[in-house]
Amino acid sequence: MFRPVRKRFGPAHGDDVPSDDAFLYHATSLERAYDIAVEGLATHGPSWGTDQDVWPDGSTERRSYWNPLANLTWMFSPEGEPVILRAPRDAVAFRRERGTGDFYARKKIPAEHLEIVDAEGRWHPISDLLEGRG
């Protein structure tokens, strides 16, 4: 049976989730992950879930932010039980932010390109979250 998360990714807050250079990683909450499994990962303006009016590079366009290191991604999770998602680097045209070097996407990432890590550190299609749900 698929078990998507362990509390704060277990010991060391996800330090045991290995990275793969073919992917970028995104933190979200388990609750939001269910919606993402249905709708894909949408972009949002800089004020969504933050106290900022503009992105660090001065832009206000809609984005989703990504990290090349899975074990550091949990730090960017919103309130709720955190989960880590990943997408292949070629799923959309990821860009690098001026100044910070952060990765971001300006387009929605379809659910078929997204995976979620389970309690043992294995990756599954995010659609596996929906199996057996209500």
More confident residue, 13 or 40: 40
23, β-bridge pairs: 88
Query: Which residue, among 81, 125, 85, 79, has the nearest Cα to 105 in the 3D structure?
Result: 85
The whole-number pLDDT of residue 100 equals: 81
11: phi then psi, degrees, rounded to nearest 5 = -55, 140
The whole-number pLDDT of residue 79 equals: 74
pLDDT in tens, 81-105: 888 999 999 988 999 988 788 899 9
- Domains detected in the chain: 7-130 (3.20.170)
Instruction: Please give the structure tokens belonging to residue 111.
Output: 């659910």
pLDDT at 4 over 70: no
Q: What whole-number percentage of the chain has pLDDT above 90?
A: 37
The helix, strand and coil proportions of the chain, stated in percent and rounded to the nearest 5, come to 25, 25, 50
What is the reported pTM? 0.83
